[in-house]
Structure 1
Amino acid sequence: MKEYLVELTTTVPDGTEQAEVDRRRAAESVRARELAAQGNLFRLWRPVGELRSVGIWCAEDEPELREKVLGSLPLWPWMTAVITPLESHPNDPGRTA
Structure 2
Amino acid sequence: MKEFLVELTTVVPEDTPQAEVDRRRADEAVRAGELAATGHLVRLWRPVGELRSIGLWRAADEQELYEKVLGTLPLWPWMVSVVTAVQPHPNDPGPADHTA
Aligned residue number for residue 86 of structure 1: 86
Q: TM-score, normalised by structure 1?
A: 0.97
2:42 corresponds to 1:7 = no
CA contact (8 A) 1:88 1:95 kept: no
The separation in 2 between residues aligned to 1:67 and 1:80, in whole angstroms, is 15
Aligned residue number for residue 27 of structure 1: 27
What is the count of residue pairs matched by the alignment? 97
Report the alpha carbon displacement of residue 72 of structure 1 after superposing the two structures with TM.
Answer: 0.3
CA contact (8 A) 1:2 1:59 kept: yes
Aligned residue number for residue 57 of structure 1: 57
Report the alpha carbon displacement of residue 95 of structure 1 after superposing the two structures with TM.
Answer: 4.5
Q: How large is the Cα RMSD of the aligned pairs? A: 0.9
The separation in 2 between residues aligned to 1:95 and 1:2, in whole angstroms, is 16
Structure 2: which 5+ residue stretches go unaligned? none
Letter of the structure 2 residue corresponding to residue 24 of structure 1: R
Structure 1: which 5+ residue stretches go unaligned? none
> Percent identity of the aligned residues?
71
The separation in 2 between residues aligned to 1:80 and 1:65, in whole angstroms, is 14
The separation in 1 between residues aligned to 2:9 and 2:50, in whole angstroms, is 10
The separation in 1 between residues aligned to 2:95 and 2:20, in whole angstroms, is 42
The separation in 1 between residues aligned to 2:95 and 2:86, in whole angstroms, is 13
